[in-house]
Structure 1
Amino acid sequence: MKNSWKGFSALLLSSTLLFAACGDSGEDASASKTYKIGVTQIVEHPSLNAAYDGFKKALEDAGIEAEYDYQIAQGDNSNNTTIASNLVSSNVDLIFANSTGSAQAALSATQDIPIVFTSVTDAVGAELVDSMEKPGGNVTGTIDAHPDAISNTMKFLKEELGAKKVGMVFNSGEQNSRSQVDSVKELLQDMDMTVVEASVATTADVKQATESLLGKVDSMYIITDNTVVSALESVISVANDNKIPVMVGEFDSVKRGGLGAYGFEYFDIGYEAGQMAVKILKGESKPADIPVQVPQKLKLIMNKESADTIGVEIKDEWKAELSE
């Protein structure tokens, strides 16, 4: 009887250790998992690249191990569709969509794989989410439109620069861009100002479209249009030669020659999108339950060199916000 008890005790101890080992193994496997993240981005330019960097940094800071399948559509929406299909076929754990078109293509390709977007201007209008507060479905993210950015920019053009006719070069095929142009036009109805449009289809069209505005406008506003921003130097060159101030939609475009922008850091909205992805990957939240987030900070940045080139004097209240 004594020997039998010892045998039972030994068996019980062995079983306990076995189950403990299995539990430890499961926890280790979970902690050491490497997630596969599919990245679809419409085109390469500094703002979108900064958003991608911010996204990766958020996952890194959270201790998430990830491998990234990073694909660029080269400004072609048909490539967006192909990229999205490829990422779904690869069975990635999550898709990071960096632009409106990229997010739309990803959503068309899957309703199962979670999608986190950024660099999207109108998530509801683009039919990515049901509402900002309750996205629904498998999509959420951060937008690149602060509610006061456009109104502040138009007030600046009118009150500080005396502008009345604002030229806007944009790709009418980008829902993101059409939404911003419509917002500007609606706002200017009560400001005794008008918009003069010049539409493009590719970056090769940007210079000619800008030149078509000469003699028709006294200022320009280049929004966060991926096609035009990719060829921003063409706009700046034409505008500077004709002493036309160019306000832009984000800080990287100021550094590239725009006169100024009311904006935010794209790294920050990418980082905030990454924080959403962390919650999803860890199983803490579903995309449907994570509200779409707007940029948290808005400030004016000016480019002194551009101001000097077109003869705009930098006022004292602007000097603290000069671009580097």
Structure 2
Amino acid sequence: MSVGAVTIVSHPSLDLLYEGITEALADAGYVEGENLEMSLENPQGDQATLASIANTFAASDKEYFVAIATPPAQALAQVITDRPIVFASVTDPAAAGLVDSMDAPGGNITGTSDQLPTDQQLQVLTEIDPSVKTVGIVYSSAEVNAQVQAEAAVEAGRQLGIEVLTATVTNSSEVQQAAESLDVDAYFVLVDNTVVSAMESMVQVAEQHHRLLVASDADSVERGAAAALATDYEAQGRQTGEMLVRIIEGADPADMPVELQESLELVINPDAAEAMGVTIPDAVVKKADETL
């Protein structure tokens, strides 16, 4: 059996997704090098390279495909209609044009979504620093999932009495300058592969200007963000792999609802917060699932 997989960039959350997928396949008896040929491609954020990878996969004799993140899912869906595609970490697959609906995908593609409750994420930010009145979001204009999240954050901020300001980038090299352009009290990083791949730039700006930085994945907290209400990406990868197993065993992706991960974890990094001039309150520390 052969599977073609493609991610969008290298960063820990996406790497964990792939690990979880291969673990789920192995648990079901599909082991790479034995009865499974698994190839992973990575365009490192370059759209032209991504399109080339998709076309190469379409012309291949691979039986199944895995797309990690929204741009790879869109690239594969555009050129492969005759074989199953399973995606992981696509925030809004309907808005991305991948499925008819979350409940009834209707085609040859389904998978898992990393949709997160933006209002709860911003609530965590305000619990850490109640003085925050403006929040800055840098997001990739090339990722529809990021645009959807940014719009949701603007509305959630309005409900919480917070003004959310945004700046867009086209690649990771622009992230630092975009963050510097926002005159805000704090930063919030979405599930945005381009920005997450440049998390160190966001952390640097936050520390220099003494602004709180909250992210949407646990790995970013390890890399210097103060906190995150996040998805367990390895668990989501396993969930994605289990969906692929069901398809291999005869299930039709058209009838398989897109799955969400129900469990979220609050991860905090008090030392990172201190570097930003912020002290995480005891009440937040006590309810954290993990403290780094």
1:205 to 2:174 alignment: yes
Q: Residues 43-93 of structure 1, C-alpha deviation per residue, up to 9 Å, x if partnerless?
A: 111000100000000000000231111100110222221111111211211
Residue 158 (structure 1) shift: 2.7
TM-score norm. by structure 2 comes to 0.94
State the partner residue of 1:68: 38
Residue 157 (structure 1) shift: 2.3
Is 2:124–2:229's contact at 8 Å kept on the other side of the alignment? no
1:92 to 2:58 alignment: no
3-state SS of paired residue (1:249): strand
3-state SS of paired residue (2:257): coil
Instruction: In structure 2, give the amino acid aligned to 1:223.
Output: L
Is 1:255–1:323's contact at 8 Å kept on the other side of the alignment? no
- Greater share of helix residues, 1 or 2? 1
Unaligned runs of 5+ in 1: 1-34
3-state SS of paired residue (2:207): helix
Instruction: In structure 2, give the amino acid aligned to 1:154.
Output: L
Is 1:165–1:194's contact at 8 Å kept on the other side of the alignment? yes
Please give the alpha-carbon distance, in whole angstroms, between the structure 2 residues aligned to 1:47 and 1:105: 20
1:250 to 2:217 alignment: yes
Instruction: In structure 2, give the amino acid aligned to 1:161.
Output: D
> Alignment partner for residue 158 of structure 1, among 112, 115, 126?
126
Q: Residues 212-262 of structure 1, C-alpha deviation per residue, up to 9 Å, x if partnerless?
A: 12xx20000011111111111011011112110001011111111111111
1:194 to 2:160 alignment: no
State the partner residue of 2:73: 103
**CA pair 305-160 structure 1, distance change in 2 beyond 3 A:** closer
Please give the alpha-carbon distance, in whole angstroms, between the structure 2 residues aligned to 1:176 and 1:293: 16
> Alignment partner for residue 308 of structure 1, among 247, 265, 274?
274
Larger-Rg structure: 1
Aligned residues: 285
Q: Residues 122-166 of structure 1, C-alpha deviation per residue, up to 9 Å, x if partnerless?
A: 0110011111111110000001113x2x11111122343121100
3-state SS of paired residue (2:148): helix
Is 1:169–1:200's contact at 8 Å kept on the other side of the alignment? yes
Moved over 6 A (4+): none
Residue 203 (structure 1) shift: 1.2
Is 1:254–1:323's contact at 8 Å kept on the other side of the alignment? no
RMSD, matched Cα: 1.3
Q: Equivalent pairs: percent with the same residue?
A: 39
3-state SS of paired residue (1:127): coil
Please give the alpha-carbon distance, in whole angstroms, between the structure 2 residues aligned to 1:112 and 1:212: 45
State the partner residue of 1:16: none
Is 2:64–2:83's contact at 8 Å kept on the other side of the alignment? yes
State the partner residue of 1:28: none
Is 2:4–2:66's contact at 8 Å kept on the other side of the alignment? yes
